[in-house]
Every structure is written in structure tokens, then in C-alpha cells.
Chain A
Amino acid sequence: DAGVIQSPRHEVTEMGQEVTLRCKPISGHNSLFWYRQTMMRGLELLIYFNNNVPIDDSGMPEDRFSAKMPNASFSTLKIQPSEPRDSAVYFCASSWTSGDYNEQFFGPGTRLTVL
């Protein structure tokens, strides 16, 4: 298995532009997570999907951020418009969530720089 796949690995954009980050979870997993990591705030959960349905989006910073999971093998995190403070590493993770089992497998991350 290739693990969680994220693209692009690096993204540099200018303030005001739309940014779309992509994630392919591990096949067979039923949960998907988007995290953001910065030096100031550490690793934060943005949104959690279970069986393709958003369950908890309380970590999404504001309306400029949106996430979708159209099917079990693909998710996107979109920022529109982007701002310099959105610069961070964005991680996608997936897991098979069942009862007390929740080992999350993380992708390599997308390093976003907004100029």
C-alpha cells in the first residue's frame, strides 16, 4: 500500500489566490482527517470525515476554508482567498475507526507558502 498520498508537496502562491490541496487516503479506511501545523500553534485538527461525511469541522479557521470528500478515495481542502497567515504544513490522515481502534496514518504533508 502506498500510504496516504497528498499533492502537491509544496505550493507557493500569492495572497488572494485560491489553493486546493488533495488527499488520497489508504484504501479501506473509513475516516479522513485534515490537520494544519505551524510553529506557533502546533498540530491542529481542521476537519474530520467519517464514511465521506463531515463529522466535525470546528477546527476550520474561517469561511475561507472548505473541505470535501466526494468519495472514499479522495478529499480536497480549499482555501479561497488565501492569506499569508495560512502558510503552514497541511497534513491529511486516514484511519479505520471502529470502537476503540483509531490508529491514524499521516501523509507526507503539503507545505503551503502564501506570499
Chain B
Amino acid sequence: DAKTTQPPSMDCAEGRAANLPCNHSTISGNEYVYWYRQIHSQGPQYIIHGLKNNETNEMASLIITEDRKSSTLILPHATLRDTAVYYCIVRVKGDYKLSFGAGTTVTVRA
């Protein structure tokens, strides 16, 4: 019972912005959108999360559509070290669970 849909893979050029889409058409008002990534042979790493407003931190920006049915994670200047699997996760406010799907395998090419 997948709550999010992501493309299985995408490539991007080093130095360019990487835009990672995520569909969450059944999201509820009390559910957050979280993004994690997993670099090969490492544990997942938190990137960013948001409820309905756009968010930005030192790693990325999160753009959530007005109807909250989809979002985009933006890596502003992708580097080779950003090559990883990126997971978009919907989480109920106050819930501890993070359900990881298959994610998007992002390959940054020189």
C-alpha cells in the first residue's frame, strides 16, 4: 500500500540542479513529506521535510504543490557525491514510522 510514487532512476549532470519528483496523491492533512537519501553502503541520511510550505536547508529545497499531492526535491548544484537512492516518505504527524519504498536512484555524471 504505497503512499508515494517515484521514478525508479534518473541521471543528472554535475553542477546542474537535480529535480526529483514524488507523487503522494492520497496524502492527508496531518501527513508530512520527508526525504532521505542512501549513499551506497551507508545508512540513510535525512535531507529535509515539510508539511505544506516550501522548505530549504543547506542540502536541498522542497517544493510542495498547493494541493499537496506532489512534491519536488531540488538539489541545487549536484555533485558526484550526491549519487544515491533518494526516498520520498509520507509520515503522519506524531507517528514514529518511516516507511521506505524503492526510491529513486540518482546518478550524477561528470
Say yes or no: is A99 at the interface (Cβ < 8 Å to chain B).
yes
A102 near B43 (CB under 8 angstroms)? Answer: no
Chain A binding surface SS class: strand
Q: Residues of A contacting B42 with CB < 8 Å?
A: 106, 108-109
Interface residues on A, range: 20 to 34
| Min CB gap B14→A, angstroms | 26
B44 near A42 (CB under 8 angstroms)? Answer: no
Contact partner of A104 (CB less than 8 A), chosen from B32, B41, B93, B98, is B98
Q: Residues of A contacting B38 with CB < 8 Å?
A: 43
Footprint of A on B, CB under 8 Å?
A: 32, 38, 41-46, 49, 91, 93-102
Known interface pairs A42-B101, A91-B44, A106-B42; 12 further A-B residue pairs with C-beta atoms within 8 A, sorted by A's residue number: A31-B96, A42-B100, A43-B38, A43-B100, A45-B98, A48-B96, A55-B96, A99-B94, A100-B93, A100-B94, A106-B44, A109-B43
